[in-house]
């Protein structure tokens, strides 16, 4: 019964006012060919997305947000927690460089600093239990010293697995027993400093990990059998999960602590249940649900939230599942995946990115003369998928209807595009050729990569990987080559 109240996201804003200032979005940058930051900021503004949550403090990204009017939650990655936890000076230096400088020189509207990202996930085996709270304290001290603590609040984006229900209902909610004391320390600290509790809620993950999960309960259209909890009734998992947190806070004396929904969304590919129909149903249902301002049974009123995510990221880890690279409401190149009314525009449609520059219209595909029985085929496809992105291949995915030759073409083209269409990237032995005929079919899009963006901080994307070894990150049998 736990899935009625707690959704677990297994991976790598409630403003302080009482009004909804518009939906936010998570802007992740784990992409081989990210859109230029200025293009993304324009995308945010044209879609009237008024808040953005970042996972790091990339200089170009923050600079591009200057004078945009977009509220920013800037992130500190988990691998920085140890240094910030052990040194107040390190925290002061980080705040000076990544917060104060942007606020003063670029007029970036930073409102929150996110210390870590889901650091207490059970899958981390306690790696960040000793560093998260001290880092949070030191960053807060640094904000106070910088004179920014009144306008910028600290928080810790936490996964919904930090709380659980003893009876499968929201009223049974409390913080996880192994971190109960630590959670109370953090919650008290947030309360004392006027800061919010940030939680990531993912009904999709509950469906992904539990085949018995009632599908309709993940959505907001009232088709699920309601769940009664005393005098309260729950028609969707989000409300139940959110109120499980509310009960957890209330039982421990913090019933009025503001809550931010840091991440919520639905992926569109990489799994049978990760598709455009479900994603549109979920995200539009969520938008309609929160735009009504009704809140949840335990916490009526406006809910501020950040959709996860803005844009697909083809370089994310797929350890949690192939869907990890497909959470965006926009594709990697800023194309809207489906109709979505964010409640801020008259048209009800997403506005695509403008001024996107693509590489030449050509693809790498399997030669018609190539033999499927050639032993080089399996090696070549494993190599290509290991260094590129084949998460759209497989049962129930957007390219799941391709035959063996189509799977091979998709794999080698992904590698070719990832490496900026260099001729050498389409020289798989006796297997591949370059074509100017678009091999896309149906829902399966054979991508043409966008021109690589070279940031001012010296980032380099899309560089050709030298074939020194076979990197078999995706097992070839998933491509069903026979």
Give me the active site residues, please. 118, 263
Q: Which letter does DSSP use for residue 388 in this model?
A: S
Query: How many Å apart are CA 88 and CA 108, to the nearest integer?
Result: 24
Query: How many Å apart are CA 372 and CA 295, to the nearest integer?
Result: 56
Beta bridge pairs of residue 259: 197
User: Which H helix or E strand runs over 228?
Assistant: strand 227-229
Query: How many Å apart are CA 241 and CA 7, to the nearest integer?
Result: 7
DSSP, collapsed to helix, strand or coil, labels residue 154 as: strand
Torsion sign across C-alpha atoms 172, 177, 180, 182: negative
Query: How many Å apart are CA 12 and CA 55, to the nearest integer?
Result: 11
Q: Report residue 186 as tokens.
A: 């953090």
Burial (Cβ within 10 Å: 0-12, 13-18, ≥19) of residue 175: buried
Instruction: Check: CB of residue 34 under 8 Å from CB of residue 461.
Output: yes
DSSP, collapsed to helix, strand or coil, labels residue 409 as: helix
Query: How many Å apart are CA 83 and CA 125, to the nearest integer?
Result: 19
């Amino acid at each position: 019964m736990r899935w009625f109240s707690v959704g677990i996201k297994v991976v790598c804003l409630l403003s302080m006012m009482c009004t909804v200032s518009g939906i936010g979005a998570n802007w992740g940058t784990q992409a081989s060919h990210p859109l230029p930051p200025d293009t993304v900021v324009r995308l945010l503004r044209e879609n009237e997305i008024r808040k953005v949550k970042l996972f790091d403090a990339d200089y170009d990204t923050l600079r591009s947000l200057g004078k945009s009017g977009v509220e920013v939650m800037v992130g500190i990655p988990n691998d920085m927690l140890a240094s910030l936890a052990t040194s107040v000076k390190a925290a002061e230096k980080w705040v000076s460089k990544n917060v104060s400088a942007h606020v003063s020189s670029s007029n970036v509207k930073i409102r929150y600093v996110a210390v870590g990202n889901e650091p207490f996930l059970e899958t981390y085996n306690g790696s960040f239990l000793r560093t998260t709270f001290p880092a949070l304290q030191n960053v807060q001290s640094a904000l106070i010293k910088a004179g920014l603590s009144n306008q910028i609040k600290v928080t810790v984006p936490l996964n919904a697995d930090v709380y659980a229900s003893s009876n499968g209902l929201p009223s049974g909610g409390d913080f996880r027993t192994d971190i109960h004391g630590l959670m109370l320390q953090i919650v008290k600290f947030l309360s004392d400093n006027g800061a919010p509790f940030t939680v990531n809620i993912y009904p999709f993950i509950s469906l992904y990990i539990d085949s018995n999960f009632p599908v309709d309960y993940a959505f907001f259209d009232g088709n699920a059998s309601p769940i009664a909890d005393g005098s309260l009734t729950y028609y969707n998992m989000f409300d139940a999960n959110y109120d499980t947190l509310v009960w957890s806070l209330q039982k421990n004396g913090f019933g009025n602590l503001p809550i931010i929904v840091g991440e919520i969304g639905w992926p569109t590919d990489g799994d049978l249940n990760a598709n455009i129909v479900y994603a549109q149903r979920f995200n539009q249902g969520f938008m309609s649900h929160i735009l009504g301002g009704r809140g949840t049974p335990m916490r009526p009123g406006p809910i501020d939230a950040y959709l996860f995510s803005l844009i697909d990221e083809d370089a994310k880890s797929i350890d949690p599942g192939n869907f990890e690279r497909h959470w965006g409401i926009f594709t990697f190149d800023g194309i809207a995946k489906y109709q979505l009314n964010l409640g801020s525009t008259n048209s009800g449609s997403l506005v695509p990115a403008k001024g996107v520059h693509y590489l030449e219209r050509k693809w790498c595909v399997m030669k018609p003369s190539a033999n499927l029985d050639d032993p080089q085929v399996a090696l070549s496809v494993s190599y290509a998928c290991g260094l590129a992105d084949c998460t759209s291949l497989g049962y129930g995915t957007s390219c799941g209807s391709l035959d063996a030759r189509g799977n091979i073409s998709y794999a080698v083209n992904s590698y070719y595009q990832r490496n900026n269409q260099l001729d050498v990237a389409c020289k798989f032995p006796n297997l591949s050729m370059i074509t100017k005929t678009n091999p896309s079919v149906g829902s399966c899009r054979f991508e043409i990569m966008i021109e690589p963006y070279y940031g001012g901080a010296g980032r380099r994307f899309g560089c050709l990987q030298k074939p020194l070894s076979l990197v078999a990150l995706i097992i070839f049998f998933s491509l069903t080559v026979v």
